[in-house]
Structure 1
């Protein structure tokens, strides 16, 4: 373990050295979400037809985070909980490669150098993004490609807007809180997405093979997923921005759907409501809820976003319906979340905010369960690349069977997180 931590630290030092040398040049790339403070409240990558391409350009970046956790937990006592105290979690790190390959074409690849589930490096995913078809011939379909974008890869699929604000292992710059949503919709599947953005209107359709773990082994070879998003995003004046989107993710039948359990980087709340036999890596989803709609699922998410000067609201309204392979009847899980953030300072480098998150679900055990979470947070952008944030979290579980570890369960306490991203 010490060797893995040391190797991750060396890799990050090398990345910082590359980053310091690169500051002498312009590191931005066309149609790209910046990994630092400039990427806050950016959703889909911006669409621009102005090109800066001259030659192949490789942008090396990365992220690193470290949390201090002081959280207590308890339940009814039916199952004894592991004893947890106040201390630091294992530092996490990402390595990003973004390559400007040609006019209107770029590649993205993210590797988790260390994460809660995998202390060793592994590839999260990547994609190939096309904003122009100049490689076919100059001016080819330019009237359409002025507004269209094509993404292909084994990539983070664009279901909903909440995944743009979540922490992605070490990339926690965009998340004003420490934890993600209770039902954390996130998956990486092989597929393609086509976007059309014009005058504030956004449309997207996509198809994937519905698989998190790629293989040709039977019976886990068939299946497909359909994605779509429709929305409007407009800066109405200097003070007011409005965005509203609706998304759908549909899988007719697959061997295993991982929409709410695909994030192998792990939850930020380490070992909460876990048994005495738990290990940090083995129970990496602690604090989250997966309705286990593993065979068929139709999920719909609506996200409003309003920003007036320094005050912003982001909401999530989600309903998911489906079943596991052995079930005859479909079950429903619903999620609601609202967060209010106030950013202040000359460059909005400080913020305070709160979030309320609730899940109502027909659990696979047959119970109707409720999970609620309240978070208070504050943050300080020391620079564009360095963020310090603190959070108070209180989460409660209701409706779970007497024999469940979540029966009368709750956890609460303080989290602090330092984030570097470049």
Structure 2
């Protein structure tokens, strides 16, 4: 209790202390976290500087869902200590755990920004904890005024421990309470997202995007060995062709040769939006936080690549995913491969495109460590209303099916479907 009171007091004092420095809208070279950020992928490269002194922008996000989903399976009972571990959890119509984020964005110097995100409430952890953060450098004037000015017009340097820039899907996903960019309630089946230590170098010019990065591929840091560097990169083209048409196409690759543990497809500590689906009666909110997601279970070595097309013509948006990942677990000698496909079509309308409706199809196929070929299919249909640029309500219907799982796996002939209602605030 005392710790919670101290925490609340600290946050209140922080808000009070920084309110005089907060800048309306956004800071240079950081994308807005409201409706204006919907089709912004990487942080923008601003050409005009507004920096005059150190500024702190305090932001946050809140999200709450009403879940009305049912599920079923056809798995052979497996009895452990008198309990059938293949008996599905009894889910019903109710409200999920409210989630909350706290964001601090700091303009430290002209062209130098800091970002820090804290999860105040999330599915996996009961306590408040830092999700991640980074330092972003768009100018080198702290070395000398005008230093490498021509080069830095097109160059960005990012260093920190946060989500790495692999693929475009992680730039549209729900990040705990920060759900305003996601037109639907759930993230993709195979969610390539993790908070690793990283260094990234960007070069962007005339629509061309080139990025290279390095990481150790570890979620929790220790001084022990046994890990080789992970390297990744992105190459793409992003251009506003005319007033009505925008096109973007990127390809990303990630490779790590050796690690004692990989958290690439199970690194989201905030967990799935579909609570307890396809989980057994022993499920707890923290232990079974990835309900409905697909984890290839690569724990030692992995190579993956992702291609993402994006097209926006007036109010019509298309976003796609083709992803292929191969790797192995510690007990395996041969690699397995998982493929992911997704297509998302959204139509936005209204005076400020404050209404939308659309659909998403998502499929993953691959091979389990036990050798079975499996596939998982999901489709979402839904829409949303931006009541203001900071307030969004969404309604979706979700349907997901599992195929190929062995008889003793709880996902055998599994499926779930139903409706989700989500309210989001982000600023």
Q: Taking structure 1 as the reference length, what is the TM-score of the superposition?
A: 0.95
Query: Kindly tell me: are residues 25 and 360 of structure 1, through their superposed partners in 2, closer, same or farther at Cα, counting changes over 3 Å?
Result: closer
**1:319-370, CA deviations, whole angstroms, 9 ceiling, x for partnerless residues?**
0011112111100000000000000000000000100000010111210000
1:306 aligns with 2:311: yes
User: Which aligned pairs between 1:65-104 and structure 2 lie closer than 5 A?
Assistant: 65-78=63-76, 79-104=86-111
The alignment status of 1:140 with 2:138, answered yes or no, reads no
Match of 1:362 among 344, 349, 367: 367
Which residue, 156, 164, 183 being the options, matches 2:171?
164
1:57 aligns to what? 55
Would the aligned equivalents of 1:311 and 1:341 in 2 still touch at CA under 8 Å? yes
Q: Following the alignment from structure 1 to structure 2, what is the Cα–Cα distance between the partners of residues 120 and 30? A: 32
Q: Say whether 1:154 aligns with 2:161.
A: yes
For residues 233-382 of structure 1, what are the structure 2 equivalents within 5 Å? Answer: 233-382=238-387
Match of 1:193 among 192, 200, 216: 200
Answer yes or no: is the 8 Å Cα contact 1:19–1:61 preserved in 2.
Answer: no
Task: Specify the SS of the correspondent of 2:36.
Answer: helix
CA contact (8 A) 2:375 2:404 kept: yes
Shift of 1:375: 0.2
Q: Which residue of 2 aligns with 1:390?
A: 395
- Quick one: structure 1 residues 295 and 77, their matched pair in 2 at CA, closer, same or farther if it must change by over 3 Å? closer
CA drift of 1:20 comes to: 12
Structure 2 distance, partners of 1:181, 1:9, is 33
User: 2 CA distance for matches of 1:119 and 1:374?
Assistant: 31
Q: CA offset at residue 280 of structure 1? A: 1.2
Distance 1:234 1:378 in 2: 27
The equivalent residue for 2:79 is none
Distance 1:269 1:155 in 2: 24
CA deviation digits over 1:251-303, x for unaligned, max 9? Answer: 11111111100001000000001011101111000100100111111100000
Distance 1:352 1:12 in 2: 41
Comparing 360-369 with 346-355, greater Cα deviation is found at: 360-369
Mind listing any 5+ residue stretches in structure 2 that lack a counterpart?
A: 77-85
Contact 2:23 2:55 in 1 (8 A): no
Compared with structure 1, are the counterparts of its residues 314 and 7 closer, same or farther at alpha carbon in structure 2 (3 Å cutoff)?
Answer: farther
Partner SS for 1:144: helix
In the alignment, what sits opposite 1:401? 406
SS of the aligned residue for 1:38 comes to helix
Q: What is the alpha-carbon distance in structure 1 between the residues aligned to residue 9 and residue 185 of structure 2? A: 24
Please, what is the CA RMSD of the aligned residues?
2.2
Whether contact under 8 Å (1:231, 1:243) holds in the other structure is yes
CA deviation string 1:180-212 (max 9, x = no partner): 000011011111000000000000000011111
Mind listing any 5+ residue stretches in structure 1 that lack a counterpart? none
